[in-house]
Structures are given as C-alpha cells and as structure tokens.
Chains A and B, each alone.
Chain A
Amino acid sequence: MKNLKLKSARAAKDLSQQQLADLVGVSRQTINAIEKGDYNPTIRLCIAICKALDKTLDDLFWDNE
C-alpha cells in the first residue's frame, strides 16, 4: 500500500526524494520504495524520517483503516 502521507509531508517541506534520503542517511531508492509501499522500514528509519519532516510516527506511518 502506498504511503501517500509520507509523500505529501515530503512535498510540503519542499524536499526531493534525494534530499530526504541524504537527511536520513539512506539511498533515494529506499525512500522511493517506502513511498510506493514496496518496503517496510525499521522503527529506527521511521523515527529518522519523522524527525527530518517534523512529524510524528502516527502522522506518517499509522494506518487509520
């Protein structure tokens, strides 16, 4: 399932996938895979992404449905 919350949060910060990847220390492909729902990140990476985007884990990774 696609992670549209992450994509929109990144876009709101005006960051490209590469810029976010550099901020959290992973490859651009990994950010792309998370956004596409092809990869489930570890909690460590989730927290790093949340900190980089000033969001909480619930904001980006909690599935409401």
Chain B
Amino acid sequence: MNYDVLIFLGAFLAVLFLFSFIRRKKGIKKCEYDERQAAIQGTAYKYAALTGIFGGIIAGLIVEADLLPITGGFALIMVSFLMIEVYVVCMILKGAYFGITGTWKRWTISITLLGVANLYFGIKNIATDGLEDGCFTICDINLPLGILFLVIAATVFFQKARERREQN
C-alpha cells in the first residue's frame, strides 16, 4: 500500500473542501457568462478540437519519423495541453474568459506563479537529471507546462492593456 499517494489524495481533497467551504461562506457565486461570451465559448471549443485533431496527427508524424527528441507520451500530453491553451487564449483574447464580473487579478497571479514554479523545476530537473535517452518524457513535462502557463498570463496582461487603450 502506497501511503504517500493516500496522503497526497487526502491533502488534495481537504484543500478542495476548504476552498468550496470558503466560497460558500463568502457567498461567491458561480462565474456567469453573457450571451456573447457563451457564443465565443463555442468558437473556442471548435478551435481546441481542431488543435487536438491536427496536433494529434502532427505529433504522431513527429514521433513516428523521429523528427524531435520526444516520446509518444510526451507528445500526447503536449497536444492535450495545447488544446486547453488554445481554448483559454482564444477566450481571453475575446474578453470572454472571466465571465461577466471579470475578476481576473487573483487568477492571473496564480497562473503566473504556477508558470514560474513549473519553469524553475523543469529547468532544474533537466539540469540535474538530464534527459532520459536524450528524449523528453512525461517526467520533463514541467518545462513546457511552465511556458504554456506563462503564455496564458502574458495573454491576460496583453488583453487588459488593449482594453485599457480602447477605453481611453
């Protein structure tokens, strides 16, 4: 029996429960979207699906032809993350991601911190352990994940600056 997994799972569920308890206590409502934002969600889903289809084909070709030093698992995870990335970036650029209330600061800070942490640990792991057989595996996912998180954070800052320019 692996107790580490149970402890991790227990801690994760406790944090989840704590967050939902605080939200209920503060009376924080579920994020609501207006009609334009709901329409944009549909378009973003479409782009994400297309990314999944074409990304999957391209990733398959890259792995099969050995064009890049990546394993199949790494490619699969990267395509999944890219799908999410396309969805989120598309929604942010159309001003639809944060719903009607538009509370974005805390979320963006969290994403930035996550990105920096992933980037740091990704670089550190590769620098200390190196790549397995010279290939990126699922164990090296922190590095690209950090980059993807930071791209999302940069997109938010870019969009907010653009909105501020439009308002002036």
Residues of chain A whose beta carbon lies under 8 Å from any beta carbon of chain B = 17, 21, 25-30, 32-33, 39, 41-42, 44-45
Taking a contact as CB atoms under 8 Å apart, the answer to whether A30 and B37 are in contact is yes
Let me know if A25 and B100 touch, CB within 8 A. Answer: yes
Q: What is B's interface to A at a CB cutoff of 8 Å? A: 34-37, 94-96, 99-100, 102, 163, 166-167
Residue pair B167, A27 in contact (C-beta under 8 Å): no
**How far in angstroms is the closest Cβ of chain A from B148?**
24
Contact partner, A33, options B36, B100, B102, B167, Cβ 8 Å: B36
Contacts of A28 in B (CB 8 A): 102, 163
Report the bound CA distance from A17 to B167 in whole Å.
Answer: 9
- On whether the beta carbons of B35 and A27 are closer than 8 Å, the reply is no
Asked whether B167 lies within 8 Å of A30 as measured between CB atoms, the reply is no
Q: Which residues of A contact B37 (CB under 8 A)?
A: 27, 30
Q: How far is the CA of A50 from the CA of B37 in the complex (A)?
A: 21
Known contacts: A17-B167, A27-B95, A32-B166. The answer to whether A42 contacts B35 by CB under 8 A is yes
Instruction: List, in ascending order, chain B residues with CB within 8 A of A26's CB.
Output: 34-36, 100
A28 to chain B: closest residue by CB: B102
B167 with A45: CB separation less than 8 A = no
Residue of A25, A26, A29, A30 with most chain B CB atoms under a 10 A cut-off: A29
Nearest CB to that of B166 among chain A residues? Answer: A32
Residue from A27, A39, A45 in contact with B102 in the complex, judged by beta carbons closer than 8 Å: A27
Given known A-B contacts A27-B95, A29-B163, A32-B166, A39 and B100 have beta carbons under 8 A apart: no
Q: Which residues of A contact B94 (CB under 8 A)?
A: 29
Chain A residues with CB under 8 A of B34: 25-27, 30, 45
Q: Which of chain B's residues has its CB closest to A36's CB?
A: B166
